[in-house]
A and B are shown apart, each in its own frame.
Chain A
Amino acid sequence: MKAVVVVFPGTNRERDMAIALERATGRKPVMLFHRETALPAGTDLVVLPGGFSYGDYLRCGAMAAQSPIMREVAGFAAKGGHVLGVCNGFQILCEAGLLPGALLRNASLRFLSMDCHMRVERAGTPYTAHWQQGAVFRAPMAHGDGNFFCDDETHARLVAENLVAFRYCTPEGTLTDAANRNGARDNIAGIVSPNLRVCGLMPHPEDLVDPLMGGTDGLPMFTSLVDSLAAA
């Protein structure tokens, strides 16, 4: 699996992502700067990592969504390529229109830096194949704008088409308001595109992929990708 990690000015989680990808694939991903105008030949997966691209100016992810490489990433996605956005990467995917909705300021107005739990709402995607439906896993989160919002029509479509990949929950797997720390609509932590190949989520599974990090709860996302993309 050939993975590419896009690095924008202000991205700061690209190395965490590279470690997770290397651990799952045995290969170092290509780190690609935002000014590039082409993806390397044979790219299987593009990852937009977390951070504060362009200092979160205007809106989180708004500037990055307009950068030269994002035109390529949009073209890659349109041709059925796999694109993962985590945290700021999720914000960029929404701003670029590759995923619906938007990420608002956390309802508490506080920056949230803590572990959260998520329930796998859609198993069997390239990102969730190694989890059981309804599995609960832990992941760190670190964001000020993770409050997923979409209008009623979009929400109805996400639910009807089963495109909600992850929801915030208690460690036991119950969806509660208390577990929904950023105030996201319907506890939505992550979604997938209709072809299941574009995925965005706010928490950081890449930061729990090794016992030395305190656990391997996030590893299934990366091993799922390796299996799905090797089979493709």
Chain B
Amino acid sequence: MKARVYVMPKAGVLDPQGKAIGHALEGLGFAGVGEVRAGKVIELELAETDAAKAKAAAEEMARRLLANTVIESFRVEVL
């Protein structure tokens, strides 16, 4: 089954990339855009067929490698 890992900069961690995107949107004339945060999405194809086990495995992968929990938070979604 497929797992999707969403990795985002933690609140309070400077996200200059998000800021730059925000500025660019403003430059394009999009009004009313507040804070912009940029993260990443990682899709995993897993052999595991049990959703709970797949989620637990993906969370362990996120903790060990996919996210740096000093600066990033993550959320796993099993599809």
Q: Do A and B come from one complex?
A: yes
- Known A-B contacts A109-B20, A149-B71, A151-B70; the reply to A104 vs B14 at CB < 8 A is yes
Question: In the docked arrangement, what's the CA distance between A206 and B33, Å?
Answer: 45
Name the A residues within 8 Å of B70 (CB-CB). Answer: 94, 100-102, 149-151
- Known A-B contacts A101-B70, A149-B71; the reply to A66 vs B65 at CB < 8 A is yes
Residues of B in contact with A (beta carbons under 8 Å apart): 12-14, 16-17, 20, 65-66, 68, 70-71
Of the candidates A58, A66, A183, the one whose C-beta lies within 8 Å of that of B14 is A183
Query: C-beta contact mask, A87-128 vs B, less than 8 Å → 1, else 0?
Result: 000000011000011101111110000000000000000000
The 4 closest A-B pairs by CB, nearest first: A102-B70, A102-B71, A109-B16, A105-B16
**Are A107 and B16 closer than 8 Å at their CB atoms?**
yes
Name the B residues within 8 Å of A108 (CB-CB). Answer: 16
CB within 8 Å: A-B pair count:
35
Name the A residues within 8 Å of B14 (CB-CB). Answer: 104, 107, 147, 149, 183
**Are B65 and A58 closer than 8 Å at their CB atoms?**
yes
Query: C-beta contact mask, A40-76 vs B, less than 8 Å → 1, else 0?
Result: 0000000000000000001100100010000000000
Smallest CB separation, B66 vs chain A (Å): 7
Q: Tell me what chain B mostly uses at the interface: helix, strand, loop, or mixed.
A: loop
Question: In the docked arrangement, what's the CA distance between A105 and B13, Å?
Answer: 11
Question: In the docked arrangement, what's the CA distance between A149 and B65, Å?
Answer: 18
Name the B residues within 8 Å of A109 (CB-CB). Answer: 16-17, 20
Q: Tell me what chain A mostly uses at the interface: helix, strand, loop, or mixed.
A: loop
Smallest CB separation, B25 vs chain A (Å): 16
In the complex, residue of chain A having the shortest beta-carbon distance to the beta carbon of B69: A102
Name the A residues within 8 Å of B20 (CB-CB). Answer: 109
Query: C-beta contact mask, A164-182 vs B, less than 8 Å → 1, else 0?
Result: 0000000000000000000
- Known A-B contacts A109-B20, A149-B71, A150-B70; the reply to A104 vs B13 at CB < 8 A is yes
User: What are 18 pairs between A and B in contact, CB < 8 Å?
Assistant: A58-B66, A59-B68, A66-B65, A95-B68, A102-B68, A104-B13, A104-B14, A104-B16, A104-B71, A106-B16, A107-B16, A109-B17, A147-B14, A149-B13, A149-B14, A149-B70, A149-B71, A183-B14
Question: In the docked arrangement, what's the CA distance between A150 and B13, Å?
Answer: 9
Question: In the docked arrangement, what's the CA distance between A106 and B12, Å?
Answer: 16
Smallest CB separation, A56 vs chain B (Å): 13
